[in-house]
Structure 1
Amino acid sequence: MNDDACRTAATDSVERLSGADVGGAAATDAELRVTLPGGPGDVHAWAQYVAAHADGTVFHDPCWSLTVRECFGHQPMHLLAWRGARLVGVLPLMEVRSLLAGRLLISVPYGTYGGILADDDATRDVLASTARELAEAGGARVLELRSRTAAVADFEPIDGYLGFSKSLPATPDAVAASLPKRPRAAARHARDRDGVQVVHDPELLEAIWHLYCRSMRRLASVNYPLAFFRALQARLGDDLWVSAACRGGELICGTLCLVYRDTIMPYILGADERITGEGAANLLYWDLMERAVQRGLHTWDYGRSRADNRGAVGFKKNQGFEPSPLGYQAFVPGGRRPPNLKPSNPRFALARRVWTRLPLAITRPLGAWLSRSLPG
């Protein structure tokens, strides 16, 4: 199905449910109608709605989907719910045509979070029904909502993902005391004995990307393209923090953090395993937490980890963060089995073993290409 056909199918499905009588107290203002974004005015209203919604994240914001579209070419299927002229719900949704899994509808690709934001249950249900129609009409293998909390009654749970977040201290001086003893001691050792320093510099983005690619190869995972992070930097500006721990001018590890409203999230981390310095990452995060408090941020979100990823889960727990199951959900048209793109899939075992042995000159461009079919 080409792009025009996809949009026509989406428009037809949306029009069938537009003006649906969803009943209840929520329907008192006007009929509920669902549309695709029609222009800059709709996109602006969408951004404002996400910013004001209690569960809104940077991944719900249109800037994220615009960047994904620009860098990966995935087709937008975003849904907006209106009562009269008032926006009452959004579902950022994109079609991914995966070489490994076929056609997927994801909210949202490469995002930790996604799913429906709505004023009320009736609006949520109509957005879910419209998305389900899109999946059925377009032959999608799965419709995936990356919600923090499961909210759609008849969608299947996607188990195995954990979230890690907690409130930051009130003052920068209180950050040290909020850290567990072991990572605090490791960070101090890195700073005082190893001479590790933390720097914040947007110009380090490419260098950190190279560290990230090295780490992803070591973990037998694909890296996202450099162009994606450059595009995010161009759109987010000062809300994409570029930070690294270095010693003697040599980068040990680095991270790109997403800042949205009062929350900071380390989105990627890269490290050079050839350089010793166990406490460098601890020092980096300590410094970032202090900086976040200075800026007036209130929440540190360590993002998600797969429950079977003992290394990542253990590191975050060691930092004093307790895991919470994420409420990801899926609708599978026709009751078929959804595709399994998790690294733990035995189908990928041989490829993953080979991947760790390939030179970076191969894994960097190949990973960037493959990531179009592996939407996070």
Structure 2
Amino acid sequence: MDISTSHSAVSVSLLSPTDHDLWDKYVHTKPEASIYHQSKWLTLIESSLKQNGFYFIAKDATNNVVGILPIINLKSWLFGNYMVSMPYFNYGAAIADSPEIEAQLMQAAIKQGETLEVSHIQFRASEPFVSSATTDAMTVSTQKVNMILDLPETPELLGKAIGSKRRSQIKRPIREGVSHKFGGVELLEDFYEVFCLNMRDLGTPVYSKLFFKEILETFADNALLCVVYWEGKPVSTGFLLHNNGRMEIPWASTVRYANRISVNMYLYWQILSYAIENDFKQFDFGRSTIDAGTYKFKKQWGAEPQQCYWYHWVPEGAQAPDLSPSSGKFDLAIQVWQKLPLWVTKMIGPPIVRNLP
């Protein structure tokens, strides 16, 4: 598949085993790239979640990389057959030297989707695509925002910014004798116990422990855990990833009985203080819906919304299914899940959640 640009002919192909270094070198030159654009996710997702990845790489006539697009094919009897760039996270759409190459990468993904007979393709972008014949044929959802905090120079300045009410909420668990640890794989058991309990109570299937373990090991220089303990037990935790001066919290969980002492506030205070002390410039609280509970929680720390642009391609005459938990069609399943024993959710959750974007 070739097009001509003002510079040279550009070809798009699937990533070969010998091109991983070229891919990652290109990603590192692009400030708009996220950690989820790195090629390591292809192997990680295929091995721990058993999903097929299609990583498209664009090269010019001199074999220089000029664009990339990672995409995963999610396929199950329960949720159907579709593709997402990137699932499980908030970022991962095409990155290229020009809008024309960006469009060419998406056209290659659409061609692959037609071959696989997918119901739809979702491209998760943090900036709107420049209008083209490709994107003009898509719908775009702007229901979600990522909540981003520009970090101050010191934790003391953050404390002043959040106000006396929230500072008192942070002091409450300290009076109760909580403690915390930052670490890696050695904290995985404690993280996973809290995560599974919280997800069960929310009615949400859990990822496998292997998935988190492989992230911690594959991205050892970019991933860490924070676990808060109360009365000798883990009660609150966050999984952290960082890249290019920004720290992100893809997963955070707190057990319900610890909410009464505001342990969640303590968790985020320690994480934000750690980010500031280690010279990170921004903190990404993750995505929310405007004015939802999670949005308001993140807003109180000073985070500001950054619009998400999620583009959807569907075959002509078709309509993308609504897989959102808020759609209402999963209400009964959520209620049943909340009543299951924890060990059951740990066993049957991973095969289900790997098919959810």
Q: Normalising by structure 1, what TM-score?
A: 0.88
Farther off after superposition, 93-102 or 174-183: 174-183
1:108-147 counterparts in 2 under 5 A? 108-147=86-125
State the partner residue of 2:56. 79
1:319-358 counterparts in 2 under 5 A? 319-358=301-340
Question: Equivalent of 2:165, from 143, 166, 182?
Answer: 182
Structure 2 distance, partners of 1:278, 1:340, is 37
Q: What's the offset of the Cα at 1:276?
A: 4.8
Aligned length: 350
Structure 1 distance, partners of 2:151, 2:125, is 23
Q: Does 1:283 align with 2:266?
A: yes
Question: Equivalent of 2:207, from 192, 199, 224?
Answer: 224
Determine if contact 2:89/2:250 at 8 Å carries over to the other structure: no
Q: What's the offset of the Cα at 1:33?
A: 0.8
Determine if contact 2:150/2:303 at 8 Å carries over to the other structure: no
Determine if contact 2:173/2:263 at 8 Å carries over to the other structure: yes
- Against the structure 1 CA distance between its residues 253 and 102, is the aligned structure 2 distance closer, same or farther, given a 3 Å change threshold? same
Q: What's the offset of the Cα at 1:171?
A: 3.0
State the partner residue of 2:41. 64
Q: What's the offset of the Cα at 1:373?
A: 1.8
Q: What's the offset of the Cα at 1:109?
A: 1.9
Q: What's the offset of the Cα at 1:307?
A: 4.6
Determine if contact 1:65/1:108 at 8 Å carries over to the other structure: no
Q: Which runs of 5+ in 1 are unaligned?
A: 1-16
State the partner residue of 1:363. 345
Structure 2 distance, partners of 1:32, 1:262, is 32
Structure 2 distance, partners of 1:323, 1:358, is 35
- Against the structure 1 CA distance between its residues 335 and 318, is the aligned structure 2 distance closer, same or farther, given a 3 Å change threshold? farther
Q: Using the aligned pairs only, state the percent identity.
A: 24
* Secondary structure at 1:339 match in 2: coil
1:220-299 counterparts in 2 under 5 A? 220-299=203-282
- Against the structure 1 CA distance between its residues 39 and 65, is the aligned structure 2 distance closer, same or farther, given a 3 Å change threshold? closer
Q: What's the offset of the Cα at 1:180?
A: 4.0
* Secondary structure at 2:220 match in 1: helix
Determine if contact 1:254/1:270 at 8 Å carries over to the other structure: yes
Q: What's the offset of the Cα at 1:243?
A: 0.6
State the partner residue of 1:11. none
One-letter code of the match for 1:110?
Y
Q: What's the offset of the Cα at 1:198?
A: 2.2
Q: Does 1:312 align with 2:294?
A: yes
Q: What's the offset of the Cα at 1:177?
A: 2.3
Q: What's the offset of the Cα at 1:37?
A: 0.9
* Secondary structure at 2:219 match in 1: helix
Structure 1 distance, partners of 2:16, 2:123, is 23
Q: Does 1:150 align with 2:128?
A: yes
State the partner residue of 1:211. 194
Q: What's the offset of the Cα at 1:165?
A: 0.6
Q: What's the offset of the Cα at 1:279?
A: 2.5
Write the deviation string for residues 5-24 of structure 1: whole angstroms up to 9, x where unpaired.
xxxxxxxxxxxx2x322x4x
State the partner residue of 1:51. 28
* Secondary structure at 1:80 match in 2: strand
Looking at secondary structure, tell me which structure has more strand per residue: 2
One-letter code of the match for 1:124?
E
Structure 1 distance, partners of 2:22, 2:282, is 25
Q: What's the offset of the Cα at 1:139?
A: 0.7
- Against the structure 1 CA distance between its residues 138 and 276, is the aligned structure 2 distance closer, same or farther, given a 3 Å change threshold? closer
Determine if contact 2:162/2:300 at 8 Å carries over to the other structure: no
Q: What's the offset of the Cα at 1:130?
A: 1.4
Farther off after superposition, 218-227 or 290-299: 290-299
Determine if contact 1:95/1:104 at 8 Å carries over to the other structure: yes
One-letter code of the match for 1:374?
L
Determine if contact 2:190/2:227 at 8 Å carries over to the other structure: no
Q: What's the offset of the Cα at 1:118?
A: 0.9
Q: What's the offset of the Cα at 1:150?
A: 2.5
Write the deviation string for residues 208-246 of structure 1: whole angstroms up to 9, x where unpaired.
111111111111111111110001011011321111122
Q: What's the offset of the Cα at 1:273?
A: 1.1
| Two-structure CA RMSD over aligned residues (Å) | 1.7
Determine if contact 1:241/1:256 at 8 Å carries over to the other structure: yes
Structure 2 distance, partners of 1:327, 1:85, is 31
Q: What's the offset of the Cα at 1:372?
A: 2.1
Structure 1 distance, partners of 2:165, 2:43, is 41
Structure 1 distance, partners of 2:348, 2:243, is 31
Structure 2 distance, partners of 1:66, 1:177, is 44
Structure 1 distance, partners of 2:281, 2:181, is 22
